Amino acid sequence: MLNGELWPAHPHPYRDELLSSWLVRVAHANGLKVQTFCAQEFGNDHQLWNRDIDRMAPAWLIESMSAKTGTSLKRVWETTLLGYEGKLYDKYHPAGQLRWILPLQIYHRKRRGYGLQFCSKCLAEGCEPYYRRSWRVAFYTFCPKHDVMLWDRCPSCGNGVVFHRLELGKPDLIDGSSLQCCWFCGFDLCSAPTVPVNKWNDRTFLSWSRVLRLIDRGAADSRDFDYSKLAVLHQFCALMVSMRCAPKLIAYVQEKTNQLPIPLVKRRIAFELRPLVERHHVLGLSWWLISRWPSRLRAAWKYRVVRYNVLGKDFNAAPEWYLSEVKRLFSDN
């Protein structure tokens, strides 16, 4: 056991750092492998890595991280995805899909999904690499600081980012591996190729980048942050990929914006489960559609590519300004 009120090494979380990233850094700072550190400090009865601790952090872990690192409870909770409750999604629930939150798709201890993205340039900056909370947000598909696309998997082997498995199966490894390494093939994620963002519409990407910068700074409580607009954006994204509710909508917007179509997953799956490239494409189209409100939506309705009765489908707690426009479309029908 590590004795004392504080752990010998007790680094504080970096700006916008995820709890899981911070925990791994603390273990390595104390000269221990992640699994060894967790077993010694929390006991074998407390299993951590069979769950998404960034989404479902147990209170005892939050309290331990606070007490043993000298970090306030408030700051520790801010490393989790609970800080987005009432903002990006309405109400937290331990199971099922949360709006805008990328799922890890955990099966036992394995990660089947690609729910943790990264910017290779951001990873390479600073004293050491770490993973941001904003990289778990589905509309955060490019880095607003470096204007490059994110990655959601290792470009060398195609596996997702699972940094807590870096030392598994490596009994001779003494020092903890750097978080920048792929857990499966060892590829340096900081050297992942950078793909510039194609900003095909100035107004669209100006609005999008502004929201990403607020998220990146942890400024989710800013008065300038319009969560109702993000809720409507999510609704448009869902409609864009729906071949049942609005099969003509995405083709219409692609034509209006001169964007070439890309292959879409045909199954009925949550937007957050779709590949990064697909999400980025659909998000750009949806940002364009929500701009110059409500003229572009009304034009799409007049072209009969979207019906008023699907605009509110499965849209709980839709903002009043949005519902008012849907009602106008109904009255004009």
**Domain edges within the chain:** 19-191, 226-332
CA dist., res. 211 & res. 144, Å (int)? 9
Q: Residue 310 is encoded by which pair of tokens? A: 């699907």
Half-sphere exposure of 161 (CA within 13 A, CB side): 29
pLDDT of residue 259: 98
Q: Please state whether the predicted TM-score (pTM) of the whole model is above 0.85.
A: yes
pLDDT confidence bin for 296, thresholds 50/70/90: very high
- 164 has a pLDDT exceeding 90: no
Mean pLDDT of 308-322: 92
Mean pLDDT of 301-327: 93
- 21 has a pLDDT exceeding 90: yes
Q: Which range (18-27, 91-100, 169-178, 313-322) has the least confidence?
A: 169-178
Cis geometry, peptide bond prior to residue 144 (ω within 30 degrees of 0): no
Mean pLDDT of 216-224: 63
CA dist., res. 316 & res. 298, Å (int)? 22
Q: Which range (7-11, 42-46, 239-243) has the least confidence?
A: 42-46
Length of the chain, in residues: 333
pLDDT confidence bin for 174, thresholds 50/70/90: very low
pLDDT of residue 232: 97
- 108 has a pLDDT exceeding 80: no
H/E stretch holding 149: strand 148-149
pLDDT of residue 95: 84
pLDDT of residue 3: 56
- 1 has a pLDDT exceeding 80: no
Mean pLDDT of 99-115: 83
pLDDT by residue (tens digit) across 229-253?
999 999 999 999 998 999 999 999 9
| Four-point Cα dihedral 23, 155, 149, 294, nearest 10 | -90
CA dist., res. 88 & res. 231, Å (int)? 7
- 14 has a pLDDT exceeding 50: yes
CA dist., res. 283 & res. 259, Å (int)? 12
- 173 has a pLDDT exceeding 60: no
Tell me the pLDDT of the chain averaged across its residues.
91
Cis geometry, peptide bond prior to residue 294 (ω within 30 degrees of 0): yes
